Chain A
Amino acid sequence: MKNAVGRDIPEYLLTGGKKVYQGKNYMDGKYVTKASPTTRIYEKPQESKIVSGLAEALRLCGARSGMTFSFHHHLRDGDHVVNMVMKAAIEELGLDGLTIAATSLGAAHDPVAEYIEQGKVVGIQTSGIRGRIGEVISAGKLKTPAVIRSHGGRPRAIEAGEVHIDIAFIAAPTSDCMGNCRGIGGKSDCGSMGYAMTDAKYADRVVVVTDCLVDFPNMPASIEAIDVDAVVVVDSIGDPKKIASSAARISQNPRDLMMAENVAKVIASTPNFKDGFSFQTGVGGPSLAANLFLEKFMDERGIKMGWSIGGICGPMVEMLKKGKVGKIIDVQDFDLDAVRSINTTPNHFEMSASQYADPANKGAFVNKLDFVVLAALEIDTDFNVNVLTGSDGVLRGAPGGHPDTAAGSKCCVIVTPLIRGRMATVCERVVTVTTPGDCVDVLVTDYGIAVNPLRPDLIECLDKAGIKHVPIEELKEKAYSIVGRPDELQWEDQVVAVLEARDGTILDVVRKIKPYTIEQ
């Protein structure tokens, strides 16, 4: 069945009330019955929840084949915990038929690809997928299609019971003997633990894994002991060098800076750019640099930013300290400056992924966003964005908060170079739709700016400010005139991944790649 972004979704996926994507805000006003976990009662006082190792924790939590284990990705490419837990479950306990429900998976988790190939891991649910795992899934080796959700879509699915977590494993930079966890104060600090919060509340069993045991009580706790069954102390939960860069630097690349300046100009031309406005941007070159130019416009107009959300890094914390931003509400930290600042700099707060971006709750921050600046791997002439699959069709990206912030904000600006290497970024039809075009408002490239025709109000703003813009088709043609028009990708029938829209409907599917052969 064709959905609202023109993607054909196989009927066999539409069981149990599952629907295809119907357009923005389709679920508004409908009802959900929240799932509740079955948790063990700990009436008798315990001195400590520390157990001897992961295998013991797994046994204690009644780990069985066929279960779903969840993980967060705050340790990013430095994470050791996913691999350690899966090794203990599969190699020590001999479990199989397991599903991993992670907030994101990356190159750090390459060993899991092996378990997929062995058929021990049969399901993957994630908001990001990179490295070997993406490759083996794209090759059709995972037993069931992977489910890809946004950062907001994931807590929504957990709360609605569409994902049931049997055991949540929470990597914690510090924990006390009862399982109160914090993201700072240890040797593998990550700052915010926002992505793990829903897991702790909705999993049947919760195991904290830490490499830095601190005195009880570890306060203020990001994950509270009231939700934790066991604490495992290991030598190392991650490689600090790969968890957070020392400091995110603003790009000096002239191309990035030019695009960033144009992003700021676009934002400054709209009526919502006024005192107290709210803003989110990424840490990519032009996205982060947009801060720099936005600050200039703010100074010129004598206005301040009310609050900023998202993945946070040093340059944003710097703006908070200078008093240019009122508050930062932080779901994830990208560099050590942000890690050190959270919960210590006044007005720098932590939030959960649900609070950040969940479309089904009653107060997600993304819904109050004035502006978001986002990147894209590809964007097509309907403004649909792909941030998941590469030009070869292989899973190697992350929707993350992209679809959530795009949908919630009043103005979503995509910034990307027109071409990357030999590939046109602005194209006729993206490989996979990860953010639907009805949520995307403006595109800024190094070759020009385009505004979504669905936003005549923004077109008027740009015209008034004398900011040149062109139809997106013109940018696409320019790109093709430089790098050529690519051939269509070749797929087999097998669906290897289902891309859920943030509201739970199906936005797109990714199929198995047909091995490339050179015609004789």
Chain B
Amino acid sequence: MIPRPRPERFRLRRTMMFLSAQKPGLIKDAYIYGCDSIMLDLEDAVAENQKDAARFSLYHALTTVDYGDTEVIVRINGLDTPHWREDVRVCVAGGADGIRIAKCESAGDVRTVERAVLEAEREFGKEEGRTLLMAALESPKGILNAYEICCASERMFGVAISGGDLRKSLQTSPQRDGIDMLASRGQVILAARAAGIQCFDTVFTDLDDQEGFEAEVRQNKAMGFDGKSLINPKQIRYVHQIFAPTEKEVRQAEKIISAYREQSAAGVGVFTVDGKMIDIAFIPGAERTLKLAKACGMYEGDLI
């Protein structure tokens, strides 16, 4: 069995690539494309009568493939199906880093899954609290309850919008400027930030429309999302490119952190960098920038 380190609740998650757990040829080495997380799907990508086969292939992949630094999340079937409990057991037994709760509508849904995860961790002798959770918000009700969902568990690292069903419920369709999802995206970002967890935008499904994809990624970044769900490896590069900090931002963050360390060692709390007032409130942002820069190959220093 390939040992995986304890999952990090907060880490870089610019790109989460969906792959059907039913396809061993795809999931055996999906990490080679360089996305931050892979999302092995037991839900919609797997036919109703193939759920069990998919779980076997998932378990085999989780326990025999070395995914390295790539985070491995599993999308389980909805709580209204007969499948989700067994899905949770296989995720925990295989040592997945996290579980994505499909069609989540309330804090209660998160807690239901959390209980099942804890039971499974005990059943399979895994470290309690190891398995992370995220929720997919796919209905107006889920979007409206975003804040309570984000706060529902210590295991929660993020929420994602799932646009397919949501647009139908909202009686809209994909628009070039993203106006169709504006209210939902805004609500989810507010909730995630208020709860202190991450948020991810929905997939862009038209692989031939590179221009539309790029516009949406730029908007995601501008709105404050941490990353995006993807359906094809060719989408990874652009997301990483857009989510990368600028050279100027990296240098600035570097200056802020080193100045802060010097000044606080000398007992100074507020100081200026390039004429701007800096205090401790700037540090998490600067650290995030450097982390991102490191992942993008733009920073090789040791401040982070």
Contact = CB atoms under 8 A, between A and B. Distances in A.
Contacts of A305: none
Contacts of B232: 254
- Chain A interface extent, by class: under 10
Contacts of B234: 254, 257
Given A254-B232, A254-B234, A446 B297 contact: no
Nearest to A259: B32
Interface string B203-236: 0000000000000000000000000000011100
B33 interface: yes
Interface in B12-58: 29, 32-33
A17 interface: no
A261 B232 CA distance: 15
A466 B297 contact: yes
B233 A254 contact: yes
A396 B233 CA distance: 33
B214 to A, nearest CB: 15
Interface in A429-473: 446-447, 466
Q: Which of A254, A446, A482 has the most CB of B within 10 A?
A: A254
B33 A254 contact: yes
Nearest to A466: B297
Contacts of A319: none
Interface in B175-217: none
Contact of B32 (A257, A261, A446, A466): A446
Contacts of A446: 29, 32
A447 B234 CA distance: 16
Contacts of A61: none
Given A254-B232, A257-B234, A258-B233, A447 B32 contact: yes
Contacts of B237: 261
A62 B232 CA distance: 63
A482 B29 CA distance: 10
Main SS at interface, chain B: helix
A466 B33 CA distance: 17
A482 B237 CA distance: 26
Interface string A250-263: 00001101100100
A12 B33 CA distance: 51
B34 to A, nearest CB: 8
Contacts of B29: 446-447, 482
Contacts of B33: 254, 258
Q: Which of B32, B234, B237 has the most CB of A within 10 A?
A: B32
A466 B29 CA distance: 23
Interface in A172-188: none
Contacts of A482: 29
A258 B237 CA distance: 10
B107 to A, nearest CB: 38
B16 to A, nearest CB: 16
Nearest to B233: A254
A257 B237 CA distance: 12
A466 B234 CA distance: 20
Nearest to B32: A446
Interface in B97-124: none
Q: Which of B29, B233, B237, B297 has the most CB of A within 10 A?
A: B29
A254 B33 CA distance: 9
Contacts of A447: 29, 32
Interface in B262-304: 297
Contacts of B297: 466
Nearest to B28: A482
Nearest to B232: A254
A375 B276 CA distance: 55
Contacts of A257: 233-234
A257 B232 CA distance: 12
A255 B34 CA distance: 12
Contacts of A254: 33, 232-234
A482 B33 CA distance: 17
A257 B32 CA distance: 12
B220 to A, nearest CB: 22
Nearest to B64: A482
A482 B234 CA distance: 24
Nearest to B30: A254
B259 to A, nearest CB: 27
Contacts of B32: 255, 258, 446-447
12 contacts: A254-B33, A254-B232, A254-B234, A255-B32, A257-B233, A257-B234, A258-B32, A258-B33, A261-B237, A446-B29, A447-B29, A466-B297
Interface of B: 29, 32-33, 232-234, 237, 297
Given A254-B233, A258-B32, A261-B237, 15 more contacts: A254-B33, A254-B232, A254-B234, A255-B32, A255-B233, A257-B233, A257-B234, A258-B33, A258-B233, A446-B29, A446-B32, A447-B29, A447-B32, A466-B297, A482-B29
Nearest 6 A/B pairs, CB to CB: A254-B233, A446-B32, A466-B297, A254-B234, A447-B32, A257-B234
